[in-house]
A and B are shown apart, each in its own frame.
Chain A
Amino acid sequence: MSGRKIGEVILDLRNISLSFGGVKALQDISFNVLEHEIRAIIGPNGAGKSSMLNVINGVYRPQEGDIILRGEHHANMDSYGAAKAGLARTFQNIALFKGMSVLDNIMTGRNLKMKANMLQQAFWLGPAQREELEHRAKVEEIIDFLEIQHIRKTPVGRLPYGLQKRVDLARALAMEPQILLLDEPMAGMNVEEKQDMCRFILDVNDQFGTTVVLIEHDMGVVMDISDRVVVLDYGKKIGDGSPDEVRANPDVISAYLGASH
């Protein structure tokens, strides 16, 4: 890997428990994420990976446990609060704004950074106009970075799945997040698309220093790009460490091979 330096703990999850009625989605899970690293959460279907991400992102509030982001407690934030705190995410079943063009979709990611008020926008006054152009320039950089120039004006609903996933990533990047949460970024992709996505994730991490937390179902890809891996199974943490350590962990092996629990 390149010259990026893994830093201090940026996100610390302590004893997180989440249940829906009688279903215990997450049970007493603790792990941390270091600045600039790529941290993967893996596990079989129904292991609680997405729930975990939704907890970090403020969609779900855990019944127990604490989320510490840059030394501050954040257990009660909602997803708007998470966005403000510098967390961006993509969605497993793409949640783009289907009626809008690729460009507009990515521009929505700049929303928090826009300062002009509505009146200025309504009358297209100087500050609003200038701001729109600045953000547009930034968005064009992201578009170039992810190589989606050719579909800039296309309504997102018409794009093939692999490209939609890329636009989803672009929208998240437009927020210039400190931490990027990716929910199965490679699900449903063919090999070539997967390779592209891996390359983008590594580049984002490398060039912008963005901390990446990603969920994957499939172990293969993740092991190649992650610095550290957390393994969940039935809402419990069964492994945590470098890819090699995790791969050698007997609990992980049995979870993946479906041995008796």
Chain B
Amino acid sequence: MAFFLETLLGGLMSGMLYSLVALGFVLIFKASGVFNFAQGAMVLFAALAMARFSEWIPGWLGTENLFVANLLAFIVSVVVMFVVAWLIERLALRYLVNQDGATLLMATLGIAYVLDGIGQTIFGSDIYKIDVGMPKEPVMMLESVFEGGILINKEDFIAALIAALLVISLSIFFQKTATGRALRAVADDHQAAQSIGIPLDRIWVIVWCVAGITALVAGIIWGSKLGVQFSLSTIALRALPVVILGGLTSVPGAIIGGLIIGVGEKLSEVYLGPFVGGGIEIWFAYMLALVFLLFRPQGLFGEKIIDRV
């Protein structure tokens, strides 16, 4: 039982990170009908910015304080992602309003390559580390309930907590503020939104900014675990099954889909792994996505408009 719980929690924690990246996809798709293939490149770009600025800033300011350096690097990276969002709208999306879904998709592929290239030109292409002072040692929990307690990776736990906080605050922002209302309106009907005076271009910049922030947070968390390197940009691909599972148009779907995939990966690895020789974790999510595509292509919570992709 304790072992099962341990696996389950591990799954939930890694699932939360998938949710975060999936949320980036869903937000942009909902608001502009663009399936953003550049999300992975944005994660890499953001992580690179964070890694390099936290390295440079102590030198520039002469401070040794790790917290101050990280905080400043984070703020600068946020600004960088906002500029990226603004440039994407300004230079690409603006000219593609009302184009076919495939056209927009190709445009985001192009954006992905440009971001990859520019990111590595500015920030370098080595492997960098992000050290935000996350505790690495595991802790034992619930020792009084189970014999031996359950082992929790503190780093994963904090990462999941941060992701959850971000997801929750974004949901509140969307539900409770005027800008959030305008975003939902645009997601629902471009034409009507525009005719009541909601500026589409500004909304798109905002959505890409939010996607940029989710990319930054995901990039920091993964970067501090795995190191910041080019393979980070393929991590977004792991969120694709999440989006298929949860539905491209559903924010709750992205969250729940992420958790299901996180848990499914871990549980299947542990319990089915021995029978098929292991390695399930790598393909489990895609397999599940394939099953969903066959039987429920709109996902768990999506509307039936997946044909727009």
Contacts and interface: CB of A to CB of B under 8 A. Distances in A.
A164 to B, nearest CB: 12
Given A79-B191, A91-B192, A108-B198, A114 B184 contact: no
Interface residues on B, range: 20 to 34
Interface of B: 173, 176-182, 184-185, 188-189, 191-200, 206
Residue with the highest number of chain B CB atoms closer than 10 Å, among A122, A124, A132? A122
Contacts of B176: 124
A57 B195 contact: yes
- Interface of B, secondary structure class, is helix
13 contacts: A78-B194, A88-B196, A95-B191, A97-B185, A97-B189, A107-B178, A111-B198, A114-B178, A121-B179, A122-B173, A122-B179, A124-B177, A172-B196
B178 A100 contact: no
Contacts of A122: 173, 177, 179
Contacts of A128: 177-178
Interface residues on A, range: 35 or more
A83 B181 contact: no
A222 interface: no
A80 B199 contact: yes
Q: 9 shortest A-B CB distances, which residue pairs?
A: A83-B197, A95-B192, A112-B197, A97-B188, A121-B177, A79-B195, A108-B185, A79-B194, A97-B185
A132 B188 CA distance: 22
A111 B182 contact: yes
Nearest to A57: B195
A99 B184 contact: yes
A212 interface: no
A171 B178 contact: no
Contact of B195 (A89, A116, A121): A89
A78 B193 CA distance: 12
B195 A82 contact: yes
Interface in A63-122: 78-80, 82-84, 88-89, 91, 95-100, 104-105, 107-112, 114, 116, 118, 121-122
A114 B197 CA distance: 11
A95 B191 CA distance: 8
